Structure 1
Amino acid sequence: MEAVYVDQHYDLVVECRNGSRKAQNELYKLYSRAMFNIAMRIVNDADEAADVLQEAFIDAYTRIADFRQETTFGLWMKQIVINRSISQIRKRKMELIPIDDTDVESIPDDEVTDNSEFEMQVRQVQATIQQLPDGYRLVLTLYLLEGYDHEEISQILRISENTSRTQFMRARRKLVELLRNQGISYN
């Protein structure tokens, strides 16, 4: 059975295809804040996030004819924003360390696998996440906040699944270390 997506903004998308600036403006109003937040979590700079947002909407409006309603407009737009954000980070010459020769199973995982430790005050954690190096923050954001699994992250970033898992594990450890250094205690 094929999934059917009901897009509550279908009419606006149709109007955009017909060149309606008013419909474009309405879609921008509906989605810009959420898309800016996604870009901000990834690029960690308000000016760059604003640039990513503008470029993503230009891309979306330019390619609106290619949007086939296989998902909602919001999900399609989110993918454009994530891809643009990743491109922006790549421009910074971010370096993910490949670990293809590393046996991930042999790396000790001293951390509890229960994510309840991250259920503390959201603003403190978000601020601390922003202190992480780009590679760590990117994988952590895509996994924890955007809900991608390691296979999807590996395809998006063009890295191996093991690299994604290791970057996430290291990012999580670094996040815990930073939180502890700030005096934020948890179980």
Structure 2
Amino acid sequence: MSNANPDIDTLITLCRQGNRNAQFEVYNRYYKTMFNTALRIVKDSHWAEDIMQEAFLKAFTKLDSFKGEVTFGAWLKKIVVNQTLDNYKKINRNAMDSLDDILYKVEDDGYKEEAKLDFTNMKVQQVMAALQSLKENYRIALTLLYIEGYDHEEISEIMAITPGNCRTTISRAKESLLKKLNA
């Protein structure tokens, strides 16, 4: 690699050719972000490290499926989130066996207006502590929505629940978070 700081497209091309130096460079560029993504979901640094390593291996073996329709970082993040949730579900079968069994079915037009969250006067630590104390499916849904930036459709896909259940979960999670923050 003659370029001291090659762009990601060049690195991806080299990775597809099996270049270990390029893989190492991609890993170094995305390691912290992907580790933090996994950590926010599983809440254990060792477990997050293992998941992140597995996700990078999966990404490097599936690089041919990266078509460039989204940024590489977004594509990799989706792999990390899916790997994290899959791993989490395997370990915590009782907690997330079937989210559809836990959630109530709600008509699309039958759910109440979403709770408004105003964090302006709160410290990040307060919000994060309250978020971490939520039920697992609420914590994961709000983490994917507010921290990871996924929309409702993507969250319902990731969590393998219906869009209606996703909206209900997020709405209830917001209400629960508000109660905890106001307590």
When normalised by structure 2's length, the TM-score is 0.83
Change in Cα spacing, 1:84 to 1:164, as seen in structure 2 (3 Å) is same
Deviates more, 1:70-79 or 1:30-39: 70-79
Say whether residues 1:56 and 2:58 are aligned partners.
Answer: no
Residue 40 of structure 2 aligns with an amino acid whose one-letter code is R
Separation of aligned partners in 2, 1:104 and 1:172: 18
Please tell me whether the aligned partners of residues 129 and 175 of structure 1 are also in contact (alpha carbons under 8 angstroms).
yes
Change in Cα spacing, 1:107 to 1:54, as seen in structure 2 (3 Å) is same
Post-superposition offset of 1:124: 2.2
Match of 1:155 in 2: 157
Residue 75 of structure 2 aligns with an amino acid whose one-letter code is W
Q: Which runs of 5+ in 1 are unaligned?
A: 1-6, 182-187
Say whether residues 1:176 and 2:178 are aligned partners.
Answer: yes
SS at match of 1:164: helix
Separation of aligned partners in 1, 2:66 and 2:136: 31
Post-superposition offset of 1:58: 0.5
SS at match of 1:118: coil
State, as a whole percentage, how many aligned pairs show the same letter: 40
Say whether residues 1:70 and 2:75 are aligned partners.
Answer: no
Residue 99 of structure 1 aligns with an amino acid whose one-letter code is Y
| Over 4 Å off, 4+ runs | 103-110
Separation of aligned partners in 1, 2:7 and 2:71: 8
Aligned length: 171
Match of 2:3 in 1: none
CA offsets, 1:18-64, max 9 Å, x none?
11111111111100100111111122222221111101001011112
Q: Which runs of 5+ in 2 are unaligned?
A: 1-5
SS at match of 1:99: coil
Residue 60 of structure 1 aligns with an amino acid whose one-letter code is A
Separation of aligned partners in 1, 2:114 and 2:75: 38
Match of 2:146 in 1: 144
Say whether residues 1:164 and 2:166 are aligned partners.
Answer: yes
Please tell me whether the aligned partners of residues 43 and 88 of structure 1 are also in contact (alpha carbons under 8 angstroms).
no
Change in Cα spacing, 1:103 to 1:64, as seen in structure 2 (3 Å) is closer
Residue 145 of structure 2 aligns with an amino acid whose one-letter code is Y
